Amino acid sequence: MPHVAPPRATFRQKLGPGGFASLAVALVSGVVTLGIPLWFCYRKIQADSKGGPLRLADAILVLGRRLEGDQLSGVFKQRLEHAADLWLMGFASRVIVSGGITGNATWSEAEAGRAWLLEQGLPDELVLAEDRSQHTLENLFNIREDLRLKGWSTLILVSDPLHLARALAFSRGLGLEVIGSPATACPPRPGSFGWWTRSLREAFLLHWYRTGMAYSRLIRSKRLLSRVT
């Protein structure tokens, strides 16, 4: 079973069993290899930020983003707008919004995102919510279970460009059939200081994920692998 973080989880609670060990391995390996794996992760971040060809899918999945109080952040709203555009273009008949209660919000990211989509005119019965998760990997674990129950297989995964590579890596590690579609209007602006710093952060997080997968397989830990596969 995957590790389940409680609502408004702290960083330590999100890490769960084995999380600090995999983080330590990622930090040490990044230093020992002079950052070479991070460079490849950085290039992957940039490549996936452009997205790829779209095709019809069972659903459009919008990954949640922490609310600002109880309001949508600019990034989250752009993700939702992009998903609504894809729905209007007919790439999928339904939209799923994911994300639990985080930070100091009084309702979940999924509930807030779903309410916004309904205000834009999307039909109530075609906008679904996954409101139990605390982070991207948990989002996708829960979505995988929902897809299996409903008999759906393909997803168009919507996030901001720099988050997309990590979200796609998580999805494919879980055996999900996903098509990445970046919400290109999301901040930060390409080429800005914020773009480069966010790119470096995402490169390390992707490296951490890949290192954690390799470490878990090396020590043959079913407990750790159950969190990421």
76: domain CATH number is 3.40.50.620
For 72, the domain range is 47-182
Residue 141 has pLDDT above 80, yes or no: yes
Q: Is residue 2 part of a domain?
A: no
pLDDT at site 128: 96
pLDDT at site 194: 94
For residues 85-93, give the mean pLDDT: 97
Q: Is residue 13 part of a domain?
A: no
Query: pTM value?
Result: 0.90
Q: Is residue 221 part of a domain?
A: no
- Identify the residue with better confidence: 96 or 212: 96
Q: Is residue 187 part of a domain?
A: no
Q: Is residue 122 part of a domain?
A: yes
For residues 110-135, give the mean pLDDT: 95
Distance CA 79, CA 63 (A): 8
* Count of structural domains, the chain: 1
Q: What is the mean pLDDT of the chain?
A: 90
Collapse the DSSP code of 225 into the 3-class scheme (helix H, G, I; strand E, B; otherwise coil) and give the result: helix
Rounding to the nearest 10 degrees, give the CA dihedral for residues 33, 34, 38, 42.
Answer: -140
Instruction: Answer whether 191's CB lies under 8 Å from 6's CB.
Output: no
Distance CA 147, CA 145 (A): 5
Reported confidence tier of residue 198, pLDDT bands at 50, 70, 90: very high
Helix axis angle, 74-88 relative to 109-119, nearest 10°?
50
- In the chain, count of helices (H) and strands (E)? 9, 5
